Amino acid sequence: MEIFFLQANTISTASNVNSSYNYLPIGIQFLFAIGFVATVLGLTHLLGPARKTSDKLQNFESGIEAVGNARQPMAIKYFLVAILFVLFDVEVIFFYPYAVNFRALGWAGFSAVLLFVAFFLVGFIYIIKKGALHWED
């Protein structure tokens, strides 16, 4: 009976060791995925039709005839709002680790999050004061 427990204990501790053998199934799955993608792309290239007409080589414009130059300048407000959205969206992502570990972080973590929110609000107030979100022009 002692030998069985000794062997079971040895097996369980050996499986907890971080070795390259533990990553073998992931590597095999990765190779199968790459092989599948390569096979499907190769088969569609070999078996698919290859009729290159002038209609197929034109850009697809959703059925609407192209009018004017595509290189005309756009309003900078669009890009500014897009960049601000990404900036504030990424800042909100930083709340997730605090939400997961708020008990373990205690009051020190709470004060750090309050400081983060204060900086976040100062930046937002600055953007509002500068008029970055006003669209009337």
Find tokens 């009018």 and name the residue: 67
Instruction: Write the burial class of residue 6 (CB in 10 Å: 0-12 exposed, 13-18 middle, 19+ buried).
Output: exposed
Instruction: Name residue, tokens 């004061």.
Output: 129
> Hey, where are the domains in the chain?
16-130
CATH 3.40.50.2000 fits 16-130, yes or no: no
pTM of the model: 0.43
Contacts of 85-92 spanning 24+ positions with Cβ under 8 A: 88/120, 88/124, 91/120
In 3D space, the residue among 137, 136, 123, 129 whose CA is nearest the CA of residue 83 turns out to be 123
For the chain, 137 residues long, give each residue's pLDDT as a single digit of tens: 455 554 544 555 555 677 888 889 999 999 999 999 999 999 998 998 877 788 777 776 676 776 777 777 777 788 888 888 888 888 888 888 888 888 888 899 899 989 998 998 998 899 889 888 777 75
